[in-house]
Amino acid sequence: MDAIRFEHVTFAYDNGFVAVDDISLTIRSGEKVAIIGQNGAGKTTAVKMMNGLLRPKSGKIMVFGEDASKKTTATLSKKVGYVFQNPGDQIFNQSVYSEIAYSLRYLRMQQEEIERRVTEAAQICHLADDLQTNPYDLPFSIRKFVTIASVVAMDADVVILDEPTAGQDLLGLLYQKEIIERLHGSGKTVITISHDMEFVIENFDRIIVMADKKIVGDAHKQEIFWDFELLDKAALKQPVVAQLANRLEMKRNIITIDDFVSEYET
Ligand SMILES: Nc1ncnc2c1ncn2[C@@H]1O[C@H](COP(=O)(O)OP(=O)(O)O)[C@@H](O)[C@H]1O
Ligand SMILES: [Mg+2]
């Protein structure tokens, strides 16, 4: 089953600026995908169209086989949850609890179910002790987990994380890895935008590369990071260990220390 399908999708902001130009992609249900590319490439704009926060100017978007243009944003966001790049764009409640509960209340869920979901999402996002805290009294790095918890609580089939690693320390990165693993393990489709190549390589295999409003690459990470023409076009660098393997004229496709060591030992 396809979770998300874009056919020749183009988007322009109100001022006429075209931010996404004729992109097509298919993401299967249960897949884990990273979207990378320079600032301004159009990544956030593209994913916001997946749950109806933005609507394409032309082209077709299918969500689980249904035409997204015929669905409200509220209906789409039950299937596709989006965690904003900037937590400040998402958080507006006075406590972590009410922030996580907000969408569930909006959907008129039973009180017991709301409590169950908020507690579980808070646990998963390491916020169990912060439920009564005002999100704005928490550091930025933890506020990001509040926004992740809100989306986790919705239990949507697709979870989109927009730059989750910004401002995170090692423990934050580890928690995010756990959350991604957990979501993926429970059959969810996980889409992450990230500029953190180490994080991407550690957590994802399929990588979509955007540059200048378009998709310029969509392949396994081992291919992406050895495609010099593509890296050049998208202004991306090889991971250091791949650069080293390249300098030593070792076999291509080495991108992790493990790859390197196992090649070195043979
Ligand atoms: N509300 C807006 N109005 C006009 N242009 C915008 C708006 N939001 C983003 N853009 C422009 O659209 C382009 C793509 O932005 P975005 O999708 O946020 O890129 P990315 O997430 O890859 O950094 C950028 O040039 C950005 O300046
Ligand atoms: Mg962005």
pLDDT of res. 145: 97
- 150 alpha carbon – ligand 1 mean position (Å): 24
pLDDT of res. 74: 92
Nearest CA to ligand 1 atom 16: 42
Does 244 share its domain with 123? no
Nearest CA to ligand 1 atom 10: 19
Does 241 share its domain with 225? no
Does 231 share its domain with 248? no
Identify the CATH number of the domain in which residue 45 sits.
3.40.50.300
Under the banding of pLDDT at 50, 70 and 90, the label for residue 251 is confident
Does 244 share its domain with 223? no
In this predicted structure, the answer to whether residue 265 has a pLDDT above a threshold of 90 is no
For 115-165, the pLDDT digits (tens) are 999 999 999 999 999 999 999 999 999 999 999 999 999 999 999 999 999
Among 9, 10, 13, 86, name the best residue to mutate to test ligand 1's pocket (greatest count of ligand atoms within 8 A of Cβ).
13
- 100 alpha carbon – ligand 1 mean position (Å): 27
Nearest CA to ligand 1 atom 2: 13
Does 182 share its domain with 199? yes
Does 262 share its domain with 138? no
pLDDT of res. 252: 85
- 40 alpha carbon – ligand 1 mean position (Å): 5
pTM: 0.96
Q: Which residues line ligand 1 (CB under 6 A)?
A: 13, 15, 17, 19, 37, 39-45
What is the residue-wise DSSP string for the chain? -EEEEEEEEEEE-TTS-EEEEEEEEEEETT-EEEEE--TTSSHHHHHHTTTTSS--SEEEEEETTEEGGGS-HHHHHHHEEEE-SSGGGT--SSSHHHHHHHHHHHTT--HHHHHHHHHHHHHHTT-GGGTTS-GGGS-HHHHHHHHHHHHHHHT-SEEEEESTTTT--HHHHHHHHHHHHHHHHTT-EEEEE-S-HHHHHHH-SEEEEEETTEEEEEEEHHHHTT-HHHHHHTT----HHHHHHHHTT--TT--SHHHHHHHHT-
Does 224 share its domain with 242? no
Does 215 share its domain with 241? no
Does 141 share its domain with 168? yes
The total of structural domains in the chain comes to 2
In this predicted structure, the answer to whether residue 266 has a pLDDT above a threshold of 90 is no
Nearest ligand 1 atom to the CA of 41 is 22
Does 160 share its domain with 197? yes
- 40 alpha carbon – ligand 2 mean position (Å): 7
Nearest ligand 1 atom to the CA of 45 is 17
Among 44, 84, 210, 214, name the best residue to mutate to test ligand 1's pocket (greatest count of ligand atoms within 8 A of Cβ).
44
Does 220 share its domain with 253? no
Domain that holds residue 260: 236-266
Does 229 share its domain with 243? no
